Amino acid sequence: DSGVTQTPKHLITATGQRVTLRCSPRSGDLSVYWYQQSLDQGLQFLIQYYNGEERAKGNILERFSAQQFPDLHSELNLSSLELGDSALYFCASSVTLNTEAFFGQGTRLTVV
Amino acid sequence: QKEVEQDPGPLSVPEGAIVSLNCTYSNSAFQYFMWYRQYSRKGPELLMYTYSSGNKEDGRFTAQVDKSSKYISLFIRDSQPSDSATYLCAMSPFDSGSARQLTFGSGTQLTVLP
């Protein structure tokens, strides 16, 4: 167990809907990352937050947004969902910007 | 063309075999190289991290980097059934053991048969 908690573990929703994925980082970790893993694209970096501020952005769609709250948990919001958004979404956390990150077990999103 | 290409496998070997997993890359800016292991239904975990050409050993695992050929490898000696997982190479232009802006390979699924 990495200490990173993601909820829910599974989510099934319809096209056009909006969902929120939640991540609780390891105790003491200030940095949170979101990754998407799909069969055709592999594991892709979406966005990083450090102590509440956005620090790096990757291949994140405009329909997706994230934030990190004062208690350091993070949420990834996915809206206007499409079939192609079906994937595993991972959260990872690290103590600082440049230390090893630990991944959570992921949220499996299925859009039908 | 993807920036990082990884032999997809799947790869099936008998217990005790030496396993070789490989990635090639095209972006010369990549300076830091990592190998992650991902068990089914779990998140990736960092196995090895290196930044220089040459070999780095950690127990049964050896990471090899050849920057001139843009080629990295992970060798697993005396493979065990518990090594059965998907192995992902990852690269970054930054001095970072973190997950920030890593570019991952597509993963090689390894099965070690008892």
pLDDT tens per residue, range A16-31: 999 999 999 999 999 9
pLDDT score of B102: 83
Contacts A105 to B, Cβ<8 Å: 41-43
Q: Where would I find the beta strands (DSSP E) of B2-44? A: 4-6, 11-14, 19-25, 32-38
Residue A51 neighbours by CB distance under 10 Å: 13
Q: Which tokens sit at B22? A: 């490989």
Which residues are A32's β-sheet partners?
A49, A93
Question: What mean pLDDT is reported for chain B?
Answer: 90
Kindly report which listed range (A12-21, B52-61, B76-85) carries the lowest average pLDDT score. B52-61
Question: Which tens digit of pLDDT belongs to each residue from B19-59?
Answer: 999 999 999 889 889 999 999 888 999 898 888 888 999 99
Distances (CA, A) of A70 to A34, A49, A75, A78: 17, 12, 12, 21
Contacts B46 to A, Cβ<8 Å: 100-101
How do strand A42-50 and strand A87-94 relate by DSSP bridges?
unpaired
Pick the residue with more confidence: B63 or A1? B63
pLDDT score of B93: 81
Separation in Å, CA of B87 to nearest CA in chain A: 12
pLDDT score of B96: 52
Task: Work out the average pLDDT over A5-21.
Answer: 98
Question: What mean pLDDT is reported for chain A?
Answer: 94
A92 and B43 in contact by Cβ < 8 A? yes
Separation in Å, CA of B55 to nearest CA in chain A: 20
Q: Which residue of A has its CA nearest to B49?
A: A100
pLDDT score of A13: 97
Asked whether the predicted pLDDT for residue A64 surpasses 90, the reply is yes
pLDDT score of B100: 66
